[in-house]
Amino acid sequence: MKEIERKILITCRQYESICFQLKDLYPSSFLEQTNYYYDSTSYMLFKQNETLRVREQKGKLEAQYKFNKRYVNYERNCDEVSWSVVSLPSTLSAALLGKYNEKYEKSKEIFSILGTLTTERKNFYINNLIFSLDKNFYLGYIDCELEIEGVTEENISFVNAICAELGLENIKPSNKKGKYTRFLSRYFDIQDHYKLQFPLRPKEKL
């Protein structure tokens, strides 16, 4: 499946303002979902701009793999595959990804859970587009973003007009700062802080 979307990081105040502007104008829905992120100890997937996660939504689990990410103007285009899982796996093997990406066909790499990110999402349906307002909770931090799905060359002017009406015309899209990238940035900050607070003691000489 091809996924084309635009992401815009916004403040929590902008999040509330946009919700207020859209709530009485367009059909909407609400959902909550949790992403369990996986990667190797060397962060192989992150370094290759790929994302592997298990998403929990409405009591169901689905593994999702995003790769071949490309950025054209303000939109992100990538390949995404998914498959159902019965229970949350503690690890996932790279061999599973070999079905979709040949570079992993012979890999013995193992991906483990790094942590979770929970999203409260409000979807607004505008023409053939979905404007998703996300409030994300991860590693003791909260951020907000607007994701616009269904962007094409034909409707780009309409999308830009809606963004302008919402007061977002001067905010650059942040497609290269997806949820996993921001999660890892926070993850690394915590790791660095821990190392400063609890430095390893030099080994004692015998």
In tens, the pLDDT along 91-145 reads 999 999 999 999 998 999 999 999 999 999 999 999 999 999 999 999 999 999 9
Q: What are phi and psi of 108, to 5 degrees?
A: -110, 15
Q: Are 70 and 77 in contact (CB under 8 A)?
A: yes
| Gap between the Cα atoms of 100 and 91, Å rounded | 18
**202, pLDDT greater than 60:** no
| Gap between the Cα atoms of 193 and 187, Å rounded | 10
Name the residue type at position 1.
M
Higher pLDDT, 127 or 205: 127
User: How much of the chain exceeds pLDDT 70, in percent?
Assistant: 90
Structure tokens at 51: 């994302």
Q: Are 69 and 78 in contact (CB under 8 A)?
A: yes
Which residue, among 125, 172, 118, 164, has the nearest Cα to 143 in the 3D structure? 118
pLDDT of the residue at 198: 55
Residue pLDDT, tens place only, 184-200:
999 999 988 666 665 64
- Beta-ladder partners of 122: 30, 133
Structure tokens at 171: 């905010």
Q: Averaged over 3-23, what is the pLDDT?
A: 91
| Gap between the Cα atoms of 123 and 26, Å rounded | 10
Q: Considering the entire predicted model, what is its pTM?
A: 0.87
Separation of CA 57 from chain center: 15
**3, pLDDT greater than 80:** no
Q: Averaged over 36-52, what is the pLDDT?
A: 94
Q: Count how many Cα atoms sit within 13 Å of the Cα of residue 34 in the half-sphere of its side chain.
A: 12
pLDDT of the residue at 93: 94
User: How much of the chain exceeds pLDDT 90, in percent?
Assistant: 73
CB atoms within 10 A of CB 13: 9
pLDDT of the residue at 147: 94
Q: Count how many Cα atoms sit within 13 Å of the Cα of residue 25 in the half-sphere of its side chain.
A: 12
Q: Which residues, 6 or more positions from 173, have their beta carbon under 8 angstroms from its beta carbon?
A: 6, 7, 8, 74, 75
